[in-house]
Structure 1
Amino acid sequence: MNARSPWSEDRATAVIAANRHLRGALLPMLHALQEEFGCIDEEAIPLLARELNLSRADVHGVVSFYHEFRRSRPGRHTIKVCRAEACQSMNADGLIEHIRRRLKVDFHETTADDAFSLEPVFCLGNCALAPAVMVDETLHGRVSPARFDAITASTLATEAAR
């Protein structure tokens, strides 16, 4: 589950300060902010620019260049679907279409109930068991549409039981 803190300028300033000493500090700062808050909040851009003596456009350019940085908070669970060749050869595209219809989202989007965010990845290292999907930190292989439905139902059931 993606437990993230709500946005706080004071906490963001502390996260930025903790990474100030690092070489090429912008990327470590961005990763730390995303880890803390689940995304790069718009309010973080001027804080980073001021701290690193960069323009807001420079910081925004880095955030928008790297696909790993989210601009909105993710759902409670993140689903990553492998798009690499081994998974494609085992009908990952068909699985992706099923997932899009089932969740009513596209890549880089979150379901209306904030339960799931859908992200593409270009290898999960599970090529022998393609197509592969990762839900939060759990890797699943040989995922069919029916198995995907069972995985997401189980994820929600486990969440409800907590």
Structure 2
Amino acid sequence: MNHLDWDKSTVSAVIDGLKDKPGALLPILHGIQDALGYIPSESVPLIAKALNLSRAEVHGVITFYHYFRETPPGKHTLHICRAESCQSMGGVALQSHAKAELGIDFHETTADGAISLEPVYCLGNCACSPAIAIDGEVYGRVSAARFDEIVADVRTQA
């Protein structure tokens, strides 16, 4: 989905369905992201008006929580574990390699829209550190070379 082609009717439906709940902002943000994959900046005024909040308040919550995306995600989401076990087993070098190979930082998407790179605290694969996950499939003992193989395989699945 093009960032400019956001679905106003979906956003409005989520807002209308949740705006009367106590503490509705987070459920609305989750609902929009679940439906569209991200929270379009164009939806912020609609959310603010429905909840009688300022646009700055809504935007502040979106940017505070790293879970929320303001741009459409890639076709595949690649998570790199940043927990202590993975870090001690080469995770920091793997993160650097991944960012360089993909040409993006965390919370960004490759120029071709194929892969979004996200940090995660733990994938529960500590015995096989460092670990990554692509679209929920976990890989352990990931070296730079293995990372490149996994990414190449994912790209061919397009």
Alignment TM-score > 0.5, same fold:
yes
Runs of 4+ in 1 over 3 A off after TM superposition: none
The equivalent residue for 2:97 is: 98
Q: Tell me the amino acid that sits aligned with residue 137 of structure 2.
A: T
Where does residue 75 of structure 1 map in the other structure?
74
- d(CA) in 2 for partners of 1:151, 1:22: 43
What is the 5 A alignment of 1:40-55?
40-55=39-54
| Per-residue deviation, 1:22 | 3.4
1: CA distance, partners of 2:155 / 2:33: 24
C-alpha distance after superposition, 1:90-111 (max 9, x if no partner)? 0101111111121111111111
Post-superposition CA distance 1:39-89 (Å, at most 9, x none): 111111111111111111111111111111111111111111011100001
Query: Separation in 1 of the partners of 2:50 and 2:141?
Result: 46
RMSD over aligned Cα atoms: 1.5
Q: Residue 155 of structure 1 aligns with which residue?
A: 154
Structure 2 Cα separation of the partners of residues 64 and 104 of structure 1: 22
1:146 match: 145
Query: Within 5 Å, which residues of 2 pair with 1:48-63?
Result: 48-63=47-62
Name structure 1 gaps, 5 residues minimum: none
Q: How does 1:11-30 map to 2 (within 5 A)?
A: 11-30=10-29
Q: Distance in 2 between matches of 1:86 and 1:42?
A: 36
Which piece of structure 1 moves more, 117-126 or 83-92? 117-126
Structure 2 unaligned spans of 5+: none
Aligned to 1:111: 110
For residues 86 and 79 of structure 1, the distance between their equivalents in structure 2, rounded to whole angstroms, comes to 19
TM-score (norm 2): 0.91
Judge which range, 18-27 or 103-112, deviates more: 18-27
Shift of residue 21, structure 1, vs aligned partner: 4.3
The percent of aligned pairs where both chains have the same amino acid is 52
Q: Name the residue aligned to 1:84.
A: 83
The farther-off stretch of 149-158 and 61-70 is: 149-158
The number of equivalent residue pairs is 155
Distance 2:124 2:22 in 1: 30
